[in-house]
Copies of this chain bind each other. A is one copy, B any other.
Amino acid sequence: MNATNTRLNPAERILMGPGPSTVSSRVLRALAAPTLGHLDPQYVQIMDETCAMLRSVYQTENKMTFPVSGTGMAGMETLAVNLLEPGDEVIVCINGVFGGRMKDVMERCGATVHSVEAPWGEIISDESAAEAVAAHPKAKLFAIVHAETSTGAHQPLVNISKLVHDAGMLFLVDAVTSLGGHELKVDEWGIDAIYSGTQKNLSCPPGLSPVSFSDRALEVMEARKTKVQSWYLDVSMLRNYYMGNAEGGRAYHHTAPINMTYALREALQIILEEGLENRIARHEKWHRRLRSGLEALGLKYVPSHSLHNLNCVYKPDEADDAAVRSALLNDYSIEIGAGLGPMAGKAWRIGLMGHACSQRNVDLVLAALKEVL
């Protein structure tokens, strides 16, 4: 193999799928800043600032808020391996691909998983959550997906959080697709452990997974009887780097993805400059415009409660799934998402995330779909 004759030259896509979303030139410039060492005082400060901004965007005071050195699924795994020990019981809500993954990940930690299921596209009702909590009083935690990327369903969390806490369980949330695009208040809503990804509404390339743990979650970790099964994701060691160790220094654990941290810091700074409330309102505003346009084209939404930033619609029977998506990609350099899992070939997922969530992109994708369909 000699690949040295070809040059790297990726197209300038408009990314309107389920993620990654389009990254602004400002974030790309930050990504390309000179690489520092991971123990350089300048880098430690950049990481501290990044974690502080993450707290603002997560609306939490949780000390243990940091970006895991992997993509969103590494965040899911970080929560599972640190909070669970073999033999634990947990409750997991499943109404799409990502709830199913949580079950798989937690079973690999030796947990017994009790599922609360709802049909794809629907949300988990307060009643079914309450029934599960009553049926499995020994469950250590209750896990739910805030924004189900496979169906576009937007899950309300406040009532469920209360009944989970009343039962003394930890409340764990997947916010991969909601953080920075939907209202999400970690402290006010009583979320004990949460993870997200950088490549959705934060409009940063994929590669880091912001997580946050409440003090109650940290206490559960401190009471573990067994070692965390993943060395790479072991928070008992990671906290000596991200929070500083007993001597006030930063203990080396692994080499963090330095340049990705720059990009995340810049992306968070952009969010705070816009204002979190303004940003969330912007996602709602352009969602409404997109929704009107899609429905005018005769496209029907899959979920009963749709996310603003991810619009999952049924593919018209007469349309050729792959041909439509290829035409958008090749003629317009627009990426939209295919259906996932049981929805493969039956649905499209149109993202309006972060930097890509604009009147310009809404009107363009509607015009392109009108032309292609």
Contact = CB atoms under 8 A, between A and B. Distances in A.
A132 B263 CA distance: 47
Nearest to A226: B108
A4 to B, nearest CB: 5
Interface in A51-95: 52-53, 55-56, 69-74, 76-77
A149 to B, nearest CB: 10
A10 B273 CA distance: 21
Contacts of A38: 20, 206
Contacts of A23: 34-35, 259
Interface residues of A, number: 81
A43 B10 contact: yes
A256 B13 contact: no
Interface of A: 1-4, 6, 8-13, 15, 17, 19-20, 22-23, 28-38, 40, 42-43, 46, 49, 52-53, 55-56, 69-74, 76-77, 101, 104-105, 107-109, 197, 199, 205-207, 227-232, 252, 254-260, 262-263, 265-266, 268-269, 272-273, 329, 335, 340
27 contacts: A3-B49, A3-B265, A3-B268, A4-B269, A10-B36, A10-B43, A13-B35, A15-B36, A17-B37, A20-B35, A20-B36, A28-B32, A70-B232, A71-B257, A73-B255, A77-B230, A77-B231, A104-B231, A105-B231, A107-B227, A205-B258, A207-B207, A207-B257, A207-B259, A207-B260, A257-B260, A259-B263
